[in-house]
């Protein structure tokens, strides 16, 4: 009953450090997403992957890179963390048609100091 | 232009009363889906209800119903008989056509008062 699993749940980084957020889904979904959530801003799409081997930029991709390692896994990398990247990050997945909902991981709380 | 607009940052409702959370959307697609999610203070995102653009009847799921007015491009969530556990952030979202992106609004914080 795992659904979407993301790690770590909490992380504190120093400015300039790098880190990777890991995400895996066990629902055999083609599409995977990374969102960030900031107060008053809702959920903003960072990157998404429509299928294995493809990735596309979302609304706020600057400062991030992603890898769709296989159908199950989609990682988000911060190469040189900045305080502006302090946020809650959600990984999500979905099947391809309009009527399919999106399933979220539990979120990763990232603080950059 | 914003794809999804939620104009109510915060709402209060008395326990057992009904409440409507507003959502308007912007799309030129004929086929699209509209979704509502609940985010309690614990942080997880919970899917509540879905409405397809071709659905003629408003969607209902238990105490949740979606008031879909296509001509006005609105998809308001109605929660009947509010409970204390309904206190949470609520997000409206849209998925266009066969696209893969979900567009979210900025959310409405609902507080249920005993």
Residues of A in contact with B98 (CB under 8 A): 96-98
Residues of A in contact with B47 (CB under 8 A): 101-103
pLDDT digits (tens, 9 = 90+) for B22-65: 999 999 999 999 999 999 999 999 999 999 999 989 999 999 99
As given in the structure block, the two tokens for residue A52 are 């294995």
Distance (Å, rounded) from C-alpha B23 to C-alpha B36? 9
CB < 8 Å from B in window 20-49 of A = 31, 33, 35, 40-45, 48
As given in the structure block, the two tokens for residue A50 are 């429509």
pLDDT at position B1 over 90 = no
pLDDT digits (tens, 9 = 90+) for A36-58: 999 888 899 999 999 888 999 99
DSSP lists the bridge partners of residue B88 as B110
Q: Please tell me if residue A99 touches chain B, with a CB cutoff of 8 Å.
A: yes
Q: What angle do CA A93, B67, B33 make, to 5 degrees?
A: 30
pLDDT at res. A1: 64
Strand duo B4-5 + B24-25: pairing = antiparallel
End-to-end CA distance of chain A: 35
pLDDT at res. A99: 77
Q: What angle do CA B98, B76, B9 make, to 5 degrees?
A: 105
Query: Within chain A, how many helices (H) and strands (E) appear?
Result: 0, 11
pLDDT digits (tens, 9 = 90+) for B105-114: 999 999 999 9
Q: Please tell me if residue B20 touches chain A, with a CB cutoff of 8 Å.
A: no
Distance (Å, rounded) from C-alpha B68 to C-alpha B34? 9
pLDDT, tens digit only, all 113 positions of chain A: 679 999 999 999 999 999 999 999 999 999 999 999 998 888 999 999 998 889 999 999 999 999 998 999 999 999 999 999 999 999 999 987 777 889 999 999 999 99
* DSSP codes of every residue in B15-74: TTS-EEE--EE----SSEEEEEEEE-TT---EEEEEEETT--SPPEETTEEEEEETTTTE
pLDDT at res. A97: 75
pLDDT digits (tens, 9 = 90+) for B67-93: 999 999 999 999 999 999 999 999 999
pLDDT at res. A95: 86
pLDDT at res. B98: 64
Nearest CA in chain A to B101: A48
For residue A109, which of A1, A27, A11, A2 has the smallest C-alpha distance? A11
Q: Please tell me if residue B90 touches chain A, with a CB cutoff of 8 Å.
A: no
Residues of B in contact with A97 (CB under 8 A): 98
């Amino acid at each position: 009953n795992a659904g979407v699993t993301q790690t770590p749940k909490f992380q504190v980084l120093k400015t300039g450090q790098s880190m990777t957020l890991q995400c895996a889904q066990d629902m055999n979904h083609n599409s995977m997403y990374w969102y960030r959530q900031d107060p008053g801003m809702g959920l903003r799409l960072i990157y998404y992957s429509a299928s294995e081997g493809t990735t596309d930029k979302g609304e706020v991709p600057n400062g991030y890179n992603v890898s769709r390692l296989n159908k199950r896994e989609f990682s988000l990398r911060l190469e040189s963390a900045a305080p502006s990247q302090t946020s809650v990050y959600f990984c999500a997945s979905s099947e391809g048609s309009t009527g399919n909902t999106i399933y979220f991981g539990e979120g990763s709380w990232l603080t950059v100091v | 232009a914003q794809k999804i607009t939620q104009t109510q940052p915060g709402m209060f409702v008395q326990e057992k009363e009904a409440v409507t959370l507003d959502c308007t959307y912007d799309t030129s697609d004929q086929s699209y889906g509209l979704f509502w999610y609940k985010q309690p203070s614990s942080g997880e995102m919970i899917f509540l209800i879905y409405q397809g653009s071709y659905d003629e009847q408003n969607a209902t799921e238990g105490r949740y119903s979606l008031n879909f007015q296509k001509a006005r491009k609105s998809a308001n969530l109605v929660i009947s008989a509010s409970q204390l556990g309904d206190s949470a952030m609520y997000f409206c979202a849209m998925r266009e056509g066969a696209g893969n992106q979900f567009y979210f609004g900025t959310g409405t914080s609902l507080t249920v008062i005993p």
